[in-house]
Structure formats: structure tokens, C-alpha cells
Amino acid sequence: MHGLGSWFNDITAVLQFFRDDPDFSPAGGWAYRADTAVLQAIQDGWRIKEGKVPIGLSLGLGDATLKISGGQKWATFFQMANDGSATSDDEDVLARLDAEQMGADYAWLTALHLYEAADKRLQNKIGVFKQNADFYRTEFVPGHRNSIFQWRGGIFDPRTADGVVSVMAPALSVSSELGYQFNTCLVIFCQ
């Protein structure tokens, strides 16, 4: 409706991977809850951008409470995407990945109890997925913006990164079963 659909191609690829993976597909499981929280963060970002109150949960963290649902950085990205206020070719892409990371952090907290209740094999698989998704968004992509790989419109752009997710998805299953670090596969793939 707002011309931003392509910005979610990478998230769509991850959702499809979860749907097709026997460990991540069960309703009520870790991925089900984490996906719900990621989507809530995106919706809350739009609500904040529109001047509405976010409806995601506040999470108790010991003595502190996380009052935001993961939506604030999505709101910043949505504003930038709508008004074209990016000051460089990749500022909007970096803002989009930063928003996704905040939503993923929110999702981790909301689904943590399901991770803790899972058996060790599934905890390993979830941990490998999380570690490498976080690594991709916060270190790998920002660190390789000036590499030989295409940035805008290339494999590091959320609008066209679904290919990277698809290529790496089989390695996730193998790496989690064998206990390897998935970012090793990511680095080898991109060298």
C-alpha cells in the first residue's frame, strides 16, 4: 500500500525457511513466537511513525522494563523511506537492518522462555540461527559495504537479500546438527 513491500524480501525468505523447516515450523514453537514478535515490532514501527501508541508487550527485565516493542527504529526507517531523507546511498539500507535488529532483539526476549524449554539440539539450532542472523545484520553487512559485492540492490540489500538467505539456509541445518558456527559458512560463501 505504501510502496515499501520490497523492503521485506529478506524477512519473507526467513519466514519461508522457518515454514519449511521441521524444527522451526510447529505452531506455538520458538520460531512461531519470535516471528510474531518481529511482525509486531514492524507494525509498532508504523504505528509510531503515524503518531499512534505501539501495542507490543512491555517486557520485564529484572528491575528494568523494556517499554518499547522493538518498533522505534522501524519508525525511523519508515519515515526515511517515505520522505527520502537518506543522506547517502546506503543509509536507508543500514537503517532498515538496524530496525530489523531491534525487532529481532525484541523477538528474542519474547520467545526466550521457549528457547529455554527446548532440548539441547534445538537450542543449538536456534542459537546458531540467532548468532548468525545478528552477525549478518550488525557486523557482516555494515563491514562489507565497500567490498567487491554489490551493496545497493545487491546481496546486502534487504530488498534483494533473499538469495543470500536461500543459499545459507541449507548450511544452517548442517551447521546446527554438527555444532559448527554458521558465520564460518557465511564468511566462506562471501569470500
Instruction: Over range 80-108, report the average pLDDT.
Output: 83
Beta partners for residue 74, in sequence order: none
Q: What percent of the chain has pLDDT over 70?
A: 67
DSSP helix/strand/coil, 66: strand
Which of 51, 80, 53, 79 is closest to 67 using CA atoms?
A: 53
Separation between Cα atoms, residue 122 and residue 41, nearest integer Å: 25
DSSP helix/strand/coil, 103: helix
Residue 33 has a pLDDT of 93
Separation between Cα atoms, residue 146 and residue 156, nearest integer Å: 11
Q: Give tens-digit pLDDT for 146-178.
A: 554 455 556 667 777 665 565 566 656 554 455
Phi and psi (nearest 5°) for 156? -100, 0
Q: Give tens-digit pLDDT for 8-31.
A: 888 888 888 888 899 999 999 999
Is residue 78 pLDDT above 80, yes or no?
Answer: yes
* One-letter amino acid of 70: G
CA dihedral 93, 48, 132, 173 (to 10 degrees): -110
* One-letter amino acid of 100: E
pTM of the predicted protein model: 0.77
